[in-house]
Chains A and B, each alone.
Chain A
Amino acid sequence: MVSTNLRGILSMRRIRTWAALVLSAVLLTACGGAKPEAKPATPAPTQTQAPAPAEKTWEPTKQVTLMVPYSAGGSTDLLARAIEKVWPKYVKQGLVVVNKSGAGGFEGRESVVRGAADGYTLMMGYGSGEDLVVPQLRTTNVDVFKDLLPVARMSVHSVLVAVPAASEFKSLKDVVDWAKKNPEKPVTAAVATAAGAQDIVMRGIGKVAGIKVTPVPHQGGSQAITALVGAQTMIGGGHPAEVMPHVKSGRLRVIGVALPERDPSLPDVQTLKEQGVNFSTWGSVKGIAVAKGTAPEVIKYYEEIMKKIAEDADFKKAMGDLYQPIMYQNAKDFGAFMTQAYGDYTKIIKDLDIKLQ
């Protein structure tokens, strides 16, 4: 890089610098106009505005996105993958599952709400804690009933109460008895997230049974269950999909389920009510939703596809392996259910005086 002709270098450099700047400017403008694409070769779904069809029926003409507002491996994600697996049997266009975790589940929701209501983006997990619980504790950017429309309910993930296998507690009654004998020591309970469905259950147990329960939040169900398996807390809450694999491998024991009646996929597990703690919640409802403004034909189409999927034998097997009960409801019933569940949670929050700290 050494040269005797200083002026020569400067002008050469200047030419090159300008060339590079112009080149980058051109490239940036060109790319700025184009839609962003994902790096691997698989085509990313583009969100162009499809004109709302005037006919009564509708079918997708390009790839559909199923948005999961949590990270991979959790129960909602697994449900989405089960749907993804059998989807090609019923729809010609492909389905791609996208995980958009962040802001405790709100980032994914927001991206669906702000996206085009053209029927090409579905949201998985409508009815979870972010929809039924959190909006009652703080202001959120997404209005559960105004910004999203129900399409179909696929499952309800009950909240199980579990203990490490080596624990002295064999039932919920043991836990309550121990806590009453040791009032200065709170019962520590691993839960997936703060103010989520499991957190509510733990606080509910504490209030109703009159014992001190300290929920210990984690970054999701997977981490909470890992902590419980490692006996870091005394008890823990989890959905069947996360808990049952460890029960099968002998590391966890389930001592109760927080539903009004026994979970159909776990007929041997007693409810909390049966054990003397009269508390139940809906757990985490897992349904599909679309952005407000989506045409009714689009919703009807997906409602029927989801019904077929719910009755599909492969889907049933996959859900069975995942310990997730199939509890299908169509759009109208699901909407009514959501309102009811929301009201149920309102009552719980008021009764238990639950607040974000």
Chain B
Amino acid sequence: MEILNGLIEGLGVAVAPTNLLFAFVGALLGTAVGVLPGLGPAATISLLLPMIYKIGSPATAVIFLAGIYYGAMYGGSTTSILLNLPGEAASVVTSLDGYKMALKGRAGAALGIAAIGSFIAGTIGVLGLTFVAPPLAEFALKFGPPEYFSLTLVGLLLAVFLSGSSIVKGMITLSLGLLFAAVGLDPVTGNVRFTLGTTHLQSGFDFVTLAMGIFGLGEIFYNLEQSEAGQIVTTKVGRLWPTMQDWAESKWAIVRGSVLGFVVGVLPGGGAVLSSLASYGLEKRLSKKPEEFGEGAIAGVAGPESANNAASSASFIPLMTLGIPANASIAMIYAALLIQGIQPGPFLITEHPDVFWGVTASMYIGNAMLLALNLPLVGLWVQLLRVPFSILGPVVVLFTTVGVFSIANNVTDIFSLLFFGVVGYLLKKFKFEVGPLPMAFVLAPMIENALRQSLLISNGSLSIFVVDRPISATLLGIFAVMVLSQVVKFFRTRARTAK
């Protein structure tokens, strides 16, 4: 089979000592970048591009950059679980249950299952890249503004599902997220919105600033208040590894998350975020113990973590098969290839099989390396939790502030960080679940763009969302079903309690 030939040739390229070395260094660097708040994989890749030209072989260059990219996915979950500091939008969902698990002393299990899940997802992702890349890419092309609108609408609804017990409170935080997302430039007309006269806010709030503020600072302010009252918040250090029970609860979550993440991850734009959200929603629905979600359900960590890793593998598909970069990091890799005279697209596989297959095979090896790297480190990371809060707190504040400043070298970001910290503190104090806020913040621009573009294309007609668009119609159908089932559940519980 031609594909197997290609894969074998690719493995040959991937295990060349230079490529192995670069895969390892890339993965290591990526993990470091993912753990440290502020600098993301896109910025790192950008800084390293000049060195790439000196490497010579394009396959090696892409292997290195790809390693940084998916390495960052692994690293991002570490801080989410340990410190409730999601560095990337895709890690927010992990922090919901992951951090709760850490608070209960199960940080090791959470980290462990995240690493294992990510590895399995990465493998499934690479298999998908090998076998179903071209048809999946065609599928991605069919996603136009109406499909994105319907999809993100479902995503918003799923975000409300993250809200724990009170749906109303969840919707309030969701609306706050939508409001914060409105700050910046109007995407269609370019008009300025809510920027308080500054130029910096014209690009809107940065996600990392918002997440670090609400999750990190907010939590720290809240804990300070608790400490004042005489209670010391500590994260206990329990078992280091997931138990057989954990594995039993998570294994299907991992598989489902991987497949879901892979399919949703192919879509340019919101792949990783939407896939982790969708996975969380799915697991909560399918779980025999849904009340555990939000309090430390391991499936709530395993599923989304696998989803976002599969999504990061899938995001290479539009690049390699169509020549369309799906996000900022991939765009850098795209630039790196173009500058070396290699055109990513349908001809890549025939004109430069070493690049296509070499990178694919190397992703598998990279995933294995990351697993080998991260599992032993779990013990080390968990020791971090032994550090008393009185020291850990200020250090986290320091790192977050420096990290946030490093994004744009702009002091406005630090004020934004403080502002979000206060918001996060207030939300926690009044027992609002903060999860929906960053989700809404990320999804809002997507929804707004999609809605307005769709209406522009259809000349104002709403029928564009359903007519001749089976994907969009199906998604809207799912949305309607989800809303209806909630309504039904509400009336049923009310009837039951009335009895």
Contacts and interface: CB of A to CB of B under 8 A. Distances in A.
The answer to whether A and B belong to the same complex is: yes
Interface of A: 1, 13, 16-17, 19-21, 23-24, 27-28, 31, 36-40, 42, 71-74, 77-78, 81-82, 84-85, 94-104, 106-107, 110-111, 134, 137-138, 141, 185-186, 188, 193-195, 214-219, 222-223, 225-227, 229-230, 232-233, 245-246, 248-251, 317-318, 321-322, 356-357
A218 B232 contact: no
Interface string B386-419: 0010110111011001110110110000000000
B341 A317 contact: yes
Contacts of B120: none
6 contacts: A1-B232, A24-B394, A28-B401, A71-B328, A194-B187, A214-B459
Contact of A227 (B50, B53, B145): B145
A78 B338 contact: yes
Contacts of A81: 49, 335-336, 338-339
Interface stretch (B188-196, B250-258, B271-279, B423-431): B188-196
A82 B338 CA distance: 9
Contacts of A85: 53, 339
Nearest to B406: A36
Interface string B433-457: 0000000000000000100010011
B290 interface: no
Contacts of B409: 36, 111
Nearest to B268: A226
Contacts of B191: 138, 356
B406 A356 contact: no
A77 B199 contact: no
B175 interface: no
A73 B36 CA distance: 25
B268 A223 contact: yes
A73 B331 contact: yes
B48 A40 contact: yes
Interface of A is mostly: mixed
Nearest to A28: B398
Nearest to A24: B394
B395 A84 contact: no
Contact of A20 (B49, B190, B394, B457): B394
Nearest to B140: A230
A21 B157 CA distance: 42
Contacts of A195: 189-190
Contacts of B336: 81
Given A27-B398, A40-B48, A230 B142 contact: yes
A213 to B, nearest CB: 11
A207 B220 CA distance: 58
Interface stretch (B12-20, B39-47, B474-482): B39-47
Contact of A16 (B188, B332, B391): B391
By size class, the interface of chain B is 35 or more
Interface stretch (B103-111, B308-316, B318-326): B318-326
Contacts of B238: none
Contact of A40 (B44, B232, B403): B44
B352 interface: no
Contact of B393 (A20, A78, A96, A248): A20
A226 B186 CA distance: 21
Contact of A106 (B38, B141, B199, B402): B199
Given A223-B268, A321-B338, 13 more contacts: A23-B394, A28-B401, A39-B32, A40-B33, A81-B339, A110-B199, A138-B190, A186-B459, A188-B457, A219-B187, A230-B144, A245-B343, A357-B188
Given A246-B323, A321-B341, A104 B185 contact: yes
B202 interface: yes
B453 A107 contact: no
Contact of A107 (B43, B199, B449): B199
Given A134-B190, A141-B199, A98 B141 contact: no
Interface string B322-362: 11110010111011101101010111000000000000000
B33 A102 contact: no
Nearest to B457: A188
A245 B409 CA distance: 35
A202 B255 CA distance: 47
B207 interface: no
